[in-house]
A = this chain, B = another copy of it.
Amino acid sequence: MARHLSDDELAAYFALRGAGDRLQRVVAQQLRAHDLTEVQFAILAQLGSGTDGIGMSELARGLVVTKSGLTYQAGQLESRGLVARRPSTDDDRGVLLHLTPDGRALLARVLPAHITLVRELFIDRIDPADLAIVRDALAQVARD
């Protein structure tokens, strides 16, 4: 087993962390203008894109949050009327999270700016021919 990382490998590793961190920072800052946390935005986005109503555990797995963290944030969003909890019909333990109309409206207001930001910071900085390579490579890393 290799005992160290070459300069190139190290640089790639740092670039990955750097890119992720930077994106995270800038996005968080932008969302703060809408009184949204990254996690909260991620929840809304998940609920917005996809079938209506997602279980808490499934949601927590998709995002980078523990179940308890999600419970907390779901409570925050619920108290702001952006999200609603509804008991699951096919599993008495389950709770499904839904977007309220207000939540959907807020998401619609925030999403365009978010997309623009992703474009500026990420997509537009990469040669289109390389984007597919980057996508596939990173997808391999994300894969279990």
Chain A residues proximal to chain B, CB less than 8 Å: 1-5, 8-9, 11-25, 64, 112, 115-116, 118-119, 121-123, 125-127, 130-143
Q: Is chain A's binding surface mostly helix, strand, loop or mixed?
A: helix
Report the minimum CB–CB distance from A11 to chain B (whole Å). Answer: 5
Residues of B within 8 A of A64 (CB): 21, 24-25
A134-B137, A138-B134 known; A16+B23 contact, CB < 8 A: yes
Considering only CB atoms, which chain B residue lies closest to A140 in the complex? B125
A131 with B9: CB separation less than 8 A: yes
Q: Report whether B20 and A123 are in contact in the complex, using a CB–CB cutoff of 8 Å.
A: no
The residue of chain B having its C-beta at the shortest distance from the C-beta of A18 within the complex is B142
| Contact status A15-B135, CB under 8 Å | yes
A123 and B5: CB pair below 8 A? yes
Q: A16 near B122 (CB under 8 angstroms)?
A: yes
Task: Give the chain B neighbours of A8 by CB distance below 8 A.
Answer: 131-132, 135
Q: Which residues of chain B are within 8 angstroms of A127 by Cβ–Cβ distance?
A: 137
